[in-house]
Amino acid sequence: MDVRIGYGYDVHAFEPGTELVLGGIKIPFSKALKGHSDADVLLHAITDALLGSLALGDIGTHFPDTDPDYENADSIILLKNAYQLILQRGYSLTNLDATVVAEAPKLNPVIPDIRDKIAEALDCDKDRVSIKATTSEEMGFIGRGEGIVAQAVVLVKKSE
């Protein structure tokens, strides 16, 4: 059986706003994430992990922030498009595990909704999608409330 692992990492700074988008879910908050698209740091990390699993480059290669077509883009669409590249090569998702690092907002209440949204986008069972949240214990730029980091690992396997 041919299996591949992919790893993704992304970071976005906060900017003034009234909500942020994380895992395809709009979360009311006193700040937004800054970016060319909707700045969904979690979906960007997962997208990079998927692309990396088959050595297909990264999110910036496929959806460059210099392209006006991706300005304010919905990152769920970018994730789905990246996953189509995986499927076209005969692979499918076995599972994904992701961690969001942020001092605020508290994410545990929305993690079930985020898992549902990602599972729907990747057309898989929710039990294949693990999303966790932690803080940086008030250290560094995350601890100062300047931004959010997300990391993701995926396992894909060749379809039989």
- pLDDT attached to residue 37: 80
**Consecutive 10-residue averages of pLDDT for the chain (160 residues):** 95 92 94 88 97 92 70 85 96 98 94 98 97 94 95 94
- pLDDT attached to residue 109: 95
Q: CA 29, 59, 47, 87 torsion: positive or negative?
A: positive
* CATH fourth-level superfamily of 3-158: 2-C-methyl-D-erythritol 2,4-cyclodiphosphate synthase (3.30.1330.50)
- pLDDT attached to residue 60: 78
Question: Distance between CA atoms of 43 and 148, rounded to whole angstroms?
Answer: 12
Distances (CA, A) of 69 to 65, 72, 78, 85, 124: 9, 9, 12, 19, 28
Question: Distance between CA atoms of 96 and 88, rounded to whole angstroms?
Answer: 19
- pLDDT attached to residue 82: 95
Domain spans, the chain: 3-158
Strands 91-101, 147-158: pairing is antiparallel
